[in-house]
Amino acid sequence: MGKNQPQKLDRKILKQLATEQLVEIIIKQGKSIEMLTNRVVELEKEIEKLKVSRDLDSIRLWKAPSGDILKKTENKQQEKPEENQTPKRKSGGQGGHRGKTRKGFG
């Protein structure tokens, strides 16, 4: 955050600047304020999300971990539907084996 820190402007320096320079300073400050305000809003949303997930965690509530909500990554790559639909093996018995049948009751 401290990359582009402007020089310290005091009353004496500001009185010596031209009107155009003062306007540019005000515009830059307005843009900086807008960016920082947006960042604060984003961080507040993230804090709320983390508070909710912290409250649902089994470690804090002394409940079984199986009761935890599954946490999925937001940037998870979507799997290809072709791979999920084709099974690796056919269902049923293995090829080449004789089947056995059970004789019924009486």
pLDDT, tens only, 24-52: 999 999 999 999 999 999 999 999 988 88
pLDDT digits (tens, 9 = 90+) for 8-17: 788 888 889 9
Which residues, 6 or more positions from 54, have their beta carbon under 8 angstroms from its beta carbon? 60
Tell me the pTM.
Answer: 0.44
What is the Cα–Cα distance from 43 to 51, expressed in whole angstroms?
12
Tokens of 71: 């946490």
User: Taking a C-beta distance cutoff of 8 angstroms, is the pair 68, 54 a contact?
Assistant: no
